[in-house]
Amino acid sequence: MSEFDANPFADPVEINPFQDPSVTQVTNANQQGIDDFNPFTENSRLTPAASDTKVLAGQKTTPSQPAILQPTVEPSPQANATAAQLVLLRQQEELERKAAELDRKEQELKNEGYDAKRNNWPPLPSFCPVKPCFYQDFAADIPSGFQRTVKMLYYLWMFHAVTLFLNLLACLAEFIVNAKYGVDFGLAILWFLLFTPCAFLCWYRPVYKAFRSDSSFNFFFFFFVFFCQIALYVIQAVGIPNWGVSGWIAALSWIRENLAVAVVMMVVATFFTVCAVLALFLMQRVHSIFRRSGASFQRAQEEFSQGVFSNTAVRSAAASAASAAAQSTFQGN
C-alpha cells in the first residue's frame, strides 16, 4: 500500500532534462574546447582542438588547401592573327615541299622514259662518232596483229637497198667493159645514195608511225609515196638505157656485147621485179588494214591541222607573217 501514500494533489517534482549525466558530460566537453580555442593564434588556426583530436584519433586526416580561382585571360586579336599567320606559313611550306617532290618524281619519270626509248637505229658501235637517229622496237611500239606486216615492209626496204647496191655494181661492170657507160655508173651511185635514205624516211617511217599511233595522216602519206615507189620499181625493172638502172632492156642489149655483164644485169632486173611485186602485195595488205581501222581522209586532215598548229615553229612563223602584214598595211595607209 506504499504506492498509495503519495499525495496525488501535491505539486509534481520538476525534472530538468539537462541534468541528465550523459547530456552534462557532452556539454562540459564542448565548453572546454571552446574555452581553449583562441582565434588570434597561429596554432589555433592550423591545429584542431583537443576534443576534435580525440574524436578524430582513429581517422586519417588530409590537410585541405583553399581553392584558388585562376583568372581567365582572353587572347588579343593581334595574337590570334599571328597564330593564324604561322599556321598558314606552315601549310604553305608543306605544300611547297610536296610540289617539289612531285616535280622531282615527274622529272625522274621523264628521264626514265627517255632512257627507255633511246634511239637505237641504225645499230652503230659505241665508238662511232655518229649516233643512232631513230628508235625502233616492233614488240614495244607495234600491236601484235600488225607486227608481221611492218616487219615485211622493213625487210622490203633492206631488199631495196641491196638491189640498188647491186645495180651500182652492174653499172660499174658495164662501165669497165665500155667507158661510154660512165653516165650510167654515175647515176647508179646517185640513185643508191639518194633513194636508200629517202625510202626509209618517206615511206617506211610513216607506215611505222601509222601502225604505232593509228595515225590516218601517216597512212595517207605512206600510200602516196609508196605508190610513187612502186612506179619507180617498174621503171627500174624495165631498164631504160642511159638512166643508170640495170633493167631487162639494158640487160638484153648486153647479150651480144658481153654475156657476163648481161647476166649480172639480169640478176639486178630480177631484183627490181621482185621489189615491185612485193611492194604491190604489201600496199594491198596495208590498205585492207587501213580500211578496217576506221580511218578516213577527214581524220587525216584533222591530225594534220592539229600537228601544224601545235608546232611552235609554225606558230611563231605565222605570228611573224601576220605582224609583218599588219605593219605593212598601217604603213601603206
Residue 135 has pLDDT above 80, yes or no: yes
How far apart, in whole angstroms, are the C-alpha atoms of residue 234 and residue 247?
9
Question: Contact, 118 vs 135, CB < 8 A?
Answer: yes
pLDDT at residue 249 is higher than 80 = yes
Binning pLDDT at 50, 70 and 90, where does residue 106 land? confident
The answer to whether the Cα torsion of 33, 39, 40, 45 is positive or negative is positive
- The arithmetic mean of pLDDT across residues 271-299, rounded, is 86
Q: How many CA atoms lie within 13 A of 118 on its CB side?
A: 7
pLDDT tier, 101 (very low <50, low <70, confident <90, very high otherwise): confident
d(CA 14, CA 199): 148
Q: Are 247 and 272 in contact (CB under 8 A)?
A: yes
pTM for this structure? 0.60
Instruction: Return the pLDDT at 104.
Output: 81
∠ CA 7-13-14, rounded to 5°:
160
Helix (H, G, I), strand (E, B) or coil at 95: helix
pLDDT attached to residue 156: 97
- Lowest mean pLDDT: which of 19-28, 136-145, 163-172, 175-184? 19-28
Q: Evaluate the CA torsion angle 93, 95, 98, 100 in order and state its sign.
A: negative
The pLDDT assigned to 317 comes to 52
Q: Would the pLDDT of 115 be above 70?
A: no
18-54 confidence digits (pLDDT tens): 555 655 665 555 555 555 555 555 444 444 444 444 4
Instruction: Please say if the pLDDT value at position 268 is more than 80.
Output: yes
Examine the pLDDT at 193 and tell me if it is beyond 80: yes
- Please give the mean pLDDT across all residues of the chain: 77
